[in-house]
Amino acid sequence: MNCILFNDTRSQKGNWGCEATTVHFIGVLGKMGYRIQSSLTLHDSYCPKKLKTFMSDVKKVSYVFVNGEGSLYDQNDCKGRVMIKFMGSCIQMGKTVFLLNSGYDLKSKSDIALFQRCISPKFKVLLREPFSLRNFQKHYPAHPVGLQPDVLFGLNETPRTEILSKLSLSPGRYLLLAGNSNYYRPDRPHFPAVEVYVKLIKEIERYTSLEIVILSPDMSWMFEVAKKAGKRCIGRGLSWRDAFGIFSGAKMYISGRYHPSILAALAAVPTQMISANHCKMNGLNELLGNPQPVIDSHSLDKSFHLIKEFIQKNEDPKVYETNRVSIREHVERCKNQLKEMSKFIEWEDHST
């Protein structure tokens, strides 16, 4: 069955999650017999000429797959609206549109009304975490919607642990600290993240002997944190498979990054999550049954005690192993739920 894919993020080499997720998304579709005839990145959809060419490809197929990821949330730029308008246009053309692997955190009345134009029996929706699911049900209570954990949970590879020796990382002896997509952007309140992260690192050093390693392939402000705190920052130039190997040897993880937190969960690494640019971290935290509350990104400077509690709890071997067992159980649950996506899509295929 021929189809097209909107929001192909394989080319985003600096963003491990975006690249890895689309790779797995396309793999899932391939196993179900769908052949992608054409794909478009969200960035290229801003170009009227490229979008027009892509819409010509849409006319040739019956099925349109939209890799929603984290595009549908309250923001000043247009990327979420471009996706919504594209889906609405496809539905008007009589196409079956699958919005899969997606978050949903629209807040403005205009965005919610724009999305309403997509609501149709031809619009099939699966959202990737429970916060997004509840948000959607609140706005469109009559439209069917299901929960589909992120396709990255379908990763079935052995971590490349050889990366640890290359980076001189001792398994079980380091804590990974990552950034957040909610800082230093015009549509969010200012927060002195560099200064706060440097203070956080100094505070953590007071009560743990674990090496603090900053993990960031693409955030310039995190490179500045590493320089000011005198810590090494790894990630730039590495692949998402390298990152998975790095997670496999980590003791703990502190992060506001969504997909890397899934990689951490796949490696059964206890994680303290920090809120991001929409509800995704809260939803992932719930999905994984994490006992630690999500820290608000803009209250991080007032939440050092929660991070201390998280680290000290997980330095207790019994608590640590209990947490790892729980993570594995929840990951397995997510993998099983993810298998339901094929039934959802195949049912539509068989009905037409």
Could you read off the pLDDT of 290-307 as tens digits, one per residue?
999 999 999 999 999 999
Residue 176 main-chain phi, psi, to 5 deg: -95, 135
What does DSSP say about strands 174-180 and 96-102: parallel, antiparallel, or unpaired?
A: unpaired
270 and 223 share a domain? yes
105 and 143 share a domain? yes
Residue 82 reports pLDDT greater than 70: yes
147 and 171 share a domain? no
Name the DSSP letter for residue 294.
P
Give the pLDDT band of residue 12 (cuts 50, 70, 90): low
DSSP 154-202: G------THHHHHTTPPTTSEEEEEEETTSS-TTS----HHHHHHHHHH
What's 14's domain CATH number? 3.40.50
- On whether residue 81 sits in a domain, the answer given is yes
Give the pLDDT band of residue 269 (cuts 50, 70, 90): very high
189 and 122 share a domain? no
> Which pLDDT belongs to residue 77?
58
- On whether residue 321 sits in a domain, the answer given is no
140 and 168 share a domain? no
pLDDT, greater one: 198 or 42: 198
- On whether residue 307 sits in a domain, the answer given is yes
257 and 302 share a domain? yes
Q: What is the mean pLDDT of the chain?
A: 92
Report CA-CA distances (Å) from 123 to 47, 65, 90: 25, 10, 10
184 and 55 share a domain? no
141 and 167 share a domain? no
261 and 143 share a domain? no
Strands (E), the chain: 2-6, 35-40, 63-69, 96-102, 123-127, 146-147, 174-180, 211-216, 233-235, 252-256, 271-273
Q: What share of the chain in percent tops pLDDT 70?
A: 96
**What's the whole-number mean pLDDT along residues 79-86?**
88
Number of domains in the chain: 2
204 and 294 share a domain? yes
**What's the whole-number mean pLDDT along residues 138-145?**
96
**In terms of residue numbers, what domain contains 31?**
2-154+337-350
- Exposure string of 41-57, with b = 16+ CB inside 10 Å and e = fewer, is bbebbeeeeebeebeee
Q: How far is C-alpha 103 from the chain's CA centre?
A: 9
142 and 172 share a domain? no
Give the pLDDT band of residue 352 (cuts 50, 70, 90): very low
**What's the whole-number mean pLDDT along residues 40-45?**
90
Report the range of poorest mean pLDDT among 17-21, 188-192, 249-253.
17-21
- On whether residue 323 sits in a domain, the answer given is no
142 and 227 share a domain? no
**CA dist., res. 137 & res. 141, Å (int):** 5
> Which pLDDT belongs to residue 214?
97
